[in-house]
Amino acid sequence: MSDSTLPPLLAAEGWHVLHLYYRIDHATWSLLSPEEQIEAKTRLSELVQEIRATEGCQLLIFAMVGPKADLGFMLLAADLHKLNAFEKQLTQALGADILQPTYSYLSMTERSEYTTSDEQYAADLAAEGHAPGTPEHEQKLAEFKVRMTKYLKDRLYPVLPPWEVMCFYPMNKRRGEVKNWYALSFEERKKLMGGHARVGRMWAGKILQLITGSTGLDDWEWGVTLFAHDPADIKGIIYEMRFDPVSADYAEFGEFYIGLQVPLDELFRRVQV
């Protein structure tokens, strides 16, 4: 019933991302009969399957830690109309007013503007003594291009991992009266972001990070989604990054949400529906 007769609403590049967090209204839930409760859970299960089977869509499910939220979804969609239709259905799937939205965040996957270009990398190779045309230059450049193609695909069209712990928070770059990110030159910003990337690489294998852009789409400028196997690694990387100058001087953070990826039946059990 959610099929739209409208043409798809696609971005020239990247996917739409919606984080959705809810509390369950157990009083309303308890008014449903056991049969209605089973129907409701079946409806949500089928909707999850439908979304996951839809071209250009991904859906992750979380048991959220603490009463800020009981459960959460992370929905990715190429078509904004589809994302909009699916999010309204997810909210209603367990019945009217059962899922009470507590927080949500809209963003889009995007390329980093600070990524090293092929030309810059070739120039760096030359500066290191590997002149253009030499086999070493050509091989290293080819490897770089493969690496960057994968990196760009992972940013724009990521396949999200089933790691246990998820952390989401939105952030801004500071526009203070003294410290103002947007008054820095591109070169200054690129250099600062480089330090940030170095910290990120030190946590490879422990932390998977997805940065999505939300300037103009929601109340902060970026969304950050982290995945980890050990909750202490979430704390570890974010604490370490606070000392990185780009964060120390320019980062502003919103609310933090911690969710656990669990199968849907475990989620139902855990949130007691």
Question: Is 169 a catalytic site residue?
Answer: yes
Tokens representing residue 266 in the block: 């475990």
Q: How far is CA 206 from the centre of its chain?
A: 17
134 and 210 in contact (C-beta within 8 Å)? no
15 and 157 in contact (C-beta within 8 Å)? yes
Build a one-symbol-per-residue string for 132-161: x at contacts with a copy of itself by CB under 8 A, - elsewhere.
------------------------------
Catalytic site residue from 103, 169, 250, 257: 169
Tokens representing residue 159 in the block: 């396949």
- The Cα–Cα gap between 178 and 212 comes to 27
63-122: which residues touch a copy of itself (CB under 8 A)? 63, 65-68, 70, 80-81, 83-85, 87-89, 91-92, 96-97, 101, 104-106, 108, 110
Build a one-symbol-per-residue string for 191-220: x at contacts with a copy of itself by CB under 8 A, - elsewhere.
----------------------xxxxxxx-
Residue 126 beta carbon to a copy of itself: minimum distance, rounded to whole angstroms: 31
- The Cα–Cα gap between 156 and 115 comes to 13
Task: Closer to a copy of itself by CB, 10 or 193: give it.
Answer: 10
| Residues pairing with 99 in the sheet | 24
Task: Closer to a copy of itself by CB, 27 or 127: give it.
Answer: 27
| Size of site (CB under 8 A) for a copy of itself | 90
